[in-house]
Amino acid sequence: MRIAILDDDEAQIEAVASLMASAGHACQSFASSKPLLKALRTESYDLLILDWNLPDIPGIEVLGWFRANLQAAPPTLMLTGRWDEADIVAGLNAGADDYVVKPVQPSVLLARVNAILRRAYAAGESGPVERHGGYTFNHPAQTVTVRGETIDLTAKEFQLSLLLFQNIHRALSRDHILEAVWGWSPEVQTRTLDMHISRVRMKLGLRPEFGYRLAPVYSYGYRLEKLAEDAGAAESHDG
């Protein structure tokens, strides 16, 4: 998962980022609120970990901004030294998915994070086969079966397709997709992503006549949408 950490304590950021990295998550750190708010205009994250007391905008106000301005705000965990009952209630009422008081044992923090991620991104089923609507993903074979046809994909096409279906109706930034599918390789260019998006759209039939739309989000990234049956039929008829 891709996690943003907002905290003005450098040692705290390093400790949390190291803990999350040990669990396989990718982290991006921010020491003040404004750079994070700027990043959220072009980036997507799976989880936000926020402190309350910050040098510019308090974490609870940042949380309010998320809820008011992001179409699909990611789950949020408040990690703060404010332990008063009124503060905890205020944080949860503002929209935090969990509220953890510093200091906290690393194992407890990781368990809280994993619990949030399970609730927010619960998989339809576990195991070598994963189903999303009418699409069946076979992990060992790296194939997708749709409308009775088994489609062979390259490793990157399979990872990209699965990422999109696991985040259906959610806009993913270009960097988020590149990081999730290609890692941090600097030689991977954005046209590589565009080419793979085009191939996945063609191979899996992600078009309105089949009930799906895989579309670019201007100056941001891509979103896979499942259309209502009548909407898909109407677009097919209009086309």
Domain-by-domain residue ranges, the chain? 2-120, 129-238
Task: Please give the helix or strand (H or E) that residue 139 lies within, else none.
Answer: none
Instruction: Count other Cβ atoms within 10 Å, centred on residue 131.
Output: 13
What pLDDT score does 226 carry? 92
| Angle in degrees, CA 158, 159, 161, rounded to 5 | 65
Q: Looking at the predicted structure, is the pLDDT value of residue 73 above 50?
A: yes
Q: Looking at the predicted structure, is the pLDDT value of residue 230 above 60?
A: no
What pLDDT score does 152 carry? 87
**Second CATH level (architecture) for the domain 2-120:** 3-Layer(aba) Sandwich (3.40)
> Which of the following CATH numbers is that of domain 129-238: 3.40.50.880, 3.40.50.1970, 1.10.10.10, 3.30.365.10?
1.10.10.10
What pLDDT score does 233 carry? 45
Whole-model pTM: value is: 0.71
